[in-house]
Amino acid sequence: MPTSATNITQTAPVAPAAVPTYTEDGLARAAAPLMGNASDMQMLCNLLAQFGVQTLRQLPKDKYGAFATELRRLGANI
């Protein structure tokens, strides 16, 4: 009686992509060019307000990634 063989291909597990880590200093350097003109500065102030803080030093470390994402949307190179 014929049997059908099923080829099972195993692949090596894929390592998860490295999650970037951000520092207060790195976020500040990325935001610095946005402080060059009034409209960008206002957008940066609004962004800080969205995170419930007035300064970057007040931003909780667990919010750094989300803040970095929003900085990118404003045009920051981070």
Tell me: the pLDDT tens digits for 17-38? 777 899 999 999 999 999 888 9
pTM of the entire structure?
0.74
* Amino acid, res. 68: A
Q: Is residue 69 part of a domain?
A: yes
Q: Is residue 5 part of a domain?
A: no
Sign of CA dihedral 22, 29, 53, 35: negative
pLDDT of residue 8: 65
Q: How many distinct structural domains can be found in the chain?
A: 1
pLDDT of residue 60: 97
**pLDDT of 72 over the 90 cut:** yes
Judge contact between 51 and 67, C-beta under 8 A: yes
Which domain covers residue 60, as residue numbers? Answer: 24-73
Polymer length of the chain: 78
**More reliable by pLDDT, 56 or 11:** 56
Q: What percent of the chain has pLDDT over 90?
A: 67
pLDDT of residue 51: 98
pLDDT of residue 5: 59
